[in-house]
Amino acid sequence: MRKWASVCFCAAIIGIKDPTAQNHLDYIEKQMLGDSMKAKITMKITTPNWSRELKVNSNLAGKNKALVFIEKPARDRGVGTLKIDQNMWNYFPRLKRTVIVSPSMLLTSWMGSDFTNDDLLNTSSLANDYDHKKSDKIKIDGKEVIVIRNTLKKNAKAVWPLIISYLDQDNCLPYKYLYYNKENELMRVLSFKDIKTFNGHKFPSYWKMFPMNEKGKYTELIYENIEYDEKFSENYFSLRTLTRN
């Protein structure tokens, strides 16, 4: 009965009687990204020996446009990254220097964290770049979750060949993502919690990424504020805005 109720609840949220894996992932992208979003994020990198904290302003519009600026620490203040379609640039305000970023940089760590440029710029899309297979529900941490196996499409450009996503039955939002490399080894785990509502969009405001190959290290993302459906001007996502300050 409980199982039936939760299935119905998720179906009701998405608005489809028997949602497919694609329906789930489309719903998540729509719910979490909206048409556009403007977020203030605190990033905390923790290891057994050191920790760092960054403040970031992230602006996203659809899947192809992103503009991210670092607010803190002072060393990197104002450093910006712009993505338009497949083109990317970094801007270093101290020298007023704009640099073209190679696509290969997407897989690198963003500011020493466990998130990559690809994660921050939302370059790849779980909903569009992967083939999906919905499996039986399982229970993890006492929570019933929907399991979706996402395999990278043949010609898609994304970092991870396989991502397994656990979606929370209660709200249809991500609960945990498991990232596997080409050798099918689990490389990192991203968990989500603290669902908040920003402008009518439900969003897990706390993300925690664990790399499997670095014991004791993890990176937290705390979404302090998100404004959805921000009306960015036509030329906001441009080299002009990137180089404004």
Name residues contacting another protein, limited to 77-106 (CB under 8 A).
77-78, 84, 86-87, 94-100, 102-105
Distance of CA 92 to the CA centre of its chain: 24
**Part of the chain binding another protein (CB under 8 A), chosen from 10-18, 19-27, 193-201, 234-242:** 234-242
Among 38, 40, 44, 52, binds another protein (CB under 8 A): 52
- Beta carbon nearer to another protein, 62 or 103: 103
Tell me whether residue 6 or residue 47 sits nearer to another protein (CB atom).
47
Enumerate residues 157-216 that contact another protein by CB under 8 A: none
Kindly state the tokens that stand for 16.
């489809």
Is 231 near another protein (CB under 8 A)? no
Q: What is the dihedral of CA 210, 132, 20, 148, to 10 degrees?
A: -30
Shortest approach of another protein to residue 116 CB, angstroms? 8
Question: What angle is formed at CA 178 by the lines to CA 22 and CA 108, rounded to 5 degrees?
Answer: 105
How many positions of this chain bind another protein (CB under 8 A)? 37
Peptide bond into 174 cis (omega under 30): no
Closer residue to another protein, CB minimum distance, 71 or 170: 71
Among 21, 32, 37, 45, binds another protein (CB under 8 A): 45
Shortest Cβ 173–another protein spacing (Å): 29
Near another protein by CB under 8 A: residue from 1, 2, 18, 74: 74
Q: How far is CA 25 from CA 111, 128, 147, 211, in A?
A: 28, 9, 11, 23
Q: Which of residues 108-137 bind another protein (CB under 8 A)?
A: 108-109, 112-113
Measured from the CB atom, the residue of 116 and 165 that comes closer to another protein is: 116
Measured between alpha carbons, how far is 194 from 69 in angstroms, rounded to an integer? 24
Q: Which is nearer to another protein, 1 or 95 (CB)?
A: 95
Shortest approach of another protein to residue 234 CB, angstroms?
8
- The burial class, CB within 10 Å (0-12 / 13-18 / 19+), for 55 is middle
Q: Give the residues lining the site for another protein (CB under 8 A).
A: 45, 47, 50, 52-53, 72-75, 77-78, 84, 86-87, 94-100, 102-105, 107-109, 112-113, 234-235, 238-240, 244-245
